[in-house]
Amino acid sequence: MFELRNLPAHIKSVFQIRRHFKRPWLIVLLRLGIVRLPYFLYQISKGDKNYQMLARPTTTSMADIFVLREVLVDEAYGDVLPLLTKKNIRLLDIGANLGSFTIWMHRTVGVREVHCFEPEPDSFRLLQFNLSLNDCRTVETHECAVGGEARTVNISLKESSPGGTSIYAHDPAAPQGRSVPVIAFGDWLRKIKGDFDLLKVDCEGAEWEILGKTDPQQFARFRVFIAEVHNDPENKRAVADFKELAEKLGFRTVRWDNKAYGLYMGVRDAATGL
């Protein structure tokens, strides 16, 4: 729904769509709800990078197009690039959603091996399609959630914000609700050999249990750590505590927004260890 108080954001959105998206006026009509489609192929350009992303057009402010703009146009994760010491990185993407982050990394620095985790079935199908469409051939996809301990949970697609689907919130009346597995982060890591260049986590609150219930030694395998930080689902810790948790795991904080839905970025220096 259009709100006058959000007018500056709407104006910015229109200008970005006109500049970086093909068929911009059709996209605006989709955003306004005048044209309705279940899926739409967005063609996006930013500098010398071009993307094709199949996504779900809706009229809500947190629709898929918000994620596409944030990751591919605004390049909200750009602060991580100076922390990466080489090209063709090994990446773990928890909460991969449509694949925007992995595809951006593929276009920006190259990826030699990626593991993408996404539990929501419709998002998972879009993830696989978008990875193939954007020629990401070194990615293994996992249709499951990641937490601190293994279990099975019920989830439902959050239609107003598809990227905000959480393992902690389920509407029993939701038509797309279903049971999904949650794997324990530490258990999965013990089955995989070698170190990673980057761990990216955007899993709607599960980052708290991943940090709190995983053997700290496992985090020594990651040189760079990025998390979109949400409120603790168990209400045991304040958002401000996340920085301290990450630093106890051996990361030096490079960026900390210190707010819900803000970013944490940390790097493990050569002399840092556990």
For 24-33, the pLDDT digits (tens) are 999 989 988 9
Report which of 35, 97, 47 is spatially closest to residue 72, judged by C-alpha positions: 47
- The whole-angstrom separation of Cα 214 and Cα 155 is 23
User: Are residues 256 and 131 part of one domain?
Assistant: yes
User: Are residues 215 and 92 part of one domain?
Assistant: yes
User: Within the chain, what is the greatest distance between any pair of CA atoms?
Assistant: 57
Domain boundary among 16, 45, 71: 71
The whole-number pLDDT of residue 173 equals 60
Evaluate whether 180 touches 144 at the Cβ level (below 8 Å).
Answer: yes
Domain boundary among 47, 71, 95: 71
Domain coverage including residue 61:
4-71
- The whole-angstrom separation of Cα 193 and Cα 42 is 37
Q: Which residue has the tokens 């079935």?
A: 121
Whether 250 is in a domain gets the answer: yes
Is the model's pLDDT at 229 over the cut of 70?
Answer: yes
Is the model's pLDDT at 160 over the cut of 80?
Answer: no
User: Are residues 198 and 87 part of one domain?
Assistant: yes
Domain boundary among 45, 71, 97: 71
User: Are residues 261 and 135 part of one domain?
Assistant: yes
Confidence of residue 272 (pLDDT cuts 50, 70, 90): very low
Q: What are phi and psi of 135, to 5 degrees?
A: 60, 35
Query: In total, how many domains does the chain have?
Result: 2
- The whole-angstrom separation of Cα 215 and Cα 219 is 8
Question: Which 3 state secondary structure label does DSSP give 224?
Answer: strand
User: Are residues 101 and 230 part of one domain?
Assistant: yes
User: Are residues 46 and 89 part of one domain?
Assistant: no
Is the model's pLDDT at 8 over the cut of 70?
Answer: no
Q: Residue 171 belongs to a domain with what CATH number?
A: 3.40.50.150
User: Are residues 32 and 10 part of one domain?
Assistant: yes
Tokens standing for residue 218: 């496992």
Evaluate whether 146 touches 117 at the Cβ level (below 8 Å).
Answer: yes
Q: Which residue has the tokens 């995989």?
A: 192
The whole-number pLDDT of residue 138 equals 97
The whole-number pLDDT of residue 84 equals 97
pTM of the model: 0.92
The whole-number pLDDT of residue 12 equals 72
User: Which residues are within 8 A (CB) of 230 and not within 5 positions of it... i.e. 6 or more apart?
Assistant: 204, 205, 207, 239, 260, 261
Is the model's pLDDT at 10 over the cut of 70?
Answer: no
Tell how far CA 203 is from the center of its chain.
7
